């Protein structure tokens, strides 16, 4: 018997951008998206589960394979899909802002996409550095197929840190089609995660950032992005992101950071509004 949950949220919830983001980042094997229903493997303490989510007027419906701990599953999905945000408190903060207020008017209730698993998100982010989103999805699919475990015949779980740490950088690079430098970064990240690097949503923020930046191939953009996605820091920001700078019409991360000072303590929502603006042009 499957586990079925109905997880309420405080309306409004701008579903199209969230669905669009999930579809755009969908990794073959690990995930599947079909007509507004997103299905994927979620690795929980009791083992991997196939979880499907769909959106309704005031709640998200969740179904999962039998044996899934519903309490743990609810916690993961609520963080992943930003179900606990109260936009009646967030959006009025931007009422007088010439940049963000029109974007909120166009898409009230926009949410920040979170993370199912910190290691998975970190590896997929590294794979997406300096390549197109399509290329990043291709790399993600390859790493899942090469090193993940099959779940229920149709899906493949993302490989655990220990699995990738046990490979050589060369083996990872050959299987995924990565440069030597990128393969080394993935391998080093896996070794660090297997050895205790905390990539959980409740990691200590300063340590999280400093330990990531200490790894070769991980710079400020990646650390900033993972702070938004994994930690769920709603004041985190990615000032040197190319899409963000294009949306703001600025040429440097410093300029973007100065503008973003007006958006504290909700800079992550401003960030996602600006990213969404570019995606929906």
Nearest to 151 by CA among 55, 49, 268: 49
Kindly give, in sequence order, each residue whose CB lies less than 8 Å from that of residue 7, ignoring residues fewer than 6 positions away. 59, 60, 61, 62, 74, 77, 78, 83
Per-residue pLDDT of 109-143, as tens digits, reads 999 999 999 999 999 999 999 898 899 999 999 99
> Closest Cα partner for 205 from 238, 239, 228, 186?
228
Half-sphere exposure of 159 toward its Cβ, with a 13 Å CA cutoff? 25
d(CA 123, CA 30): 14
Alpha-carbon span 212 to 198, nearest angstrom: 10
Neighbouring residues of 148: CB distance < 8 A, sequence distance ≥ 6? 29, 30, 156, 157, 158, 159
pTM of the model: 0.96
pLDDT of residue 148: 97
Using DSSP's 3-state secondary structure scheme, residue 173 falls into: helix
Do the beta carbons of residue 6 and residue 59 sit within 8 Å? Answer: yes
Q: What is the DSSP letter of 131?
A: S
Cα 55 to chain centroid distance, Å, stands at 18
SS3 call for 263: helix
State pLDDT tens for residues 140-172.
999 999 999 999 888 999 999 999 999 999 999
> According to the model, what pLDDT value does residue 46 have?
87
State mean pLDDT over 178-183: 96
Q: How far apart are the C-alpha atoms of 111 and 222, rounded to whole Å?
A: 20
Q: Which of 14-18, 64-68, 134-138, 266-270 has the lowest mean pLDDT?
A: 64-68
């Amino acid at each position: 018997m499957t586990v079925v949950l109905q997880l309420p949220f405080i309306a409004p919830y701008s579903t199209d951008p969230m669905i669009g983001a999930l579809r755009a980042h969908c990794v073959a094997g690990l995930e599947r998206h079909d007509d507004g229903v997103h299905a994927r493997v979620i690795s929980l303490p009791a083992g991997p589960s196939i979880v499907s989510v769909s959106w309704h007027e005031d709640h998200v419906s969740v179904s999962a394979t039998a044996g899934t701990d519903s309490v743990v599953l609810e916690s993961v999905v609520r963080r992943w899909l930003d179900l606990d945000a109260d936009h009646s408190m967030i959006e009025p903060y931007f009422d007088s802002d010439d940049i963000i207020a029109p974007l909120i008017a166009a898409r009230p209730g926009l949410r920040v996409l979170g993370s199912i698993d910190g290691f998975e998100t970190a590896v997929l982010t590294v794979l997406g550095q300096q390549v197109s989103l399509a290329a990043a999805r291709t790399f993600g699919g390859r790493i899942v197929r090469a090193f993940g475990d099959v779940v229920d015949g149709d899906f493949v779980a993302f490989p655990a840190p220990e699995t990738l740490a046990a490979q050589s950088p060369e083996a990872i690079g050959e299987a995924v089609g990565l440069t030597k430098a990128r393969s080394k970064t993935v391998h080093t990240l896996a070794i660090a995660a297997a050895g205790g690097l905390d990539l959980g949503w409740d990691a200590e923020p300063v340590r999280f950032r400093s330990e990531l930046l200490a790894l070769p191939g991980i710079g400020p953009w990646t650390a900033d992005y993972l702070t938004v996605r994994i930690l769920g820091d709603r004041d985190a920001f990615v000032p040197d992101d190319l899409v963000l700078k294009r949306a703001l019409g600025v040429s440097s991360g410093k300029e973007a950071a100065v503008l973003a000072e007006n958006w504290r303590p909700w800079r992550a929502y401003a960030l996602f509004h600006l990213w969404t603006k570019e995606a929906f042009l």
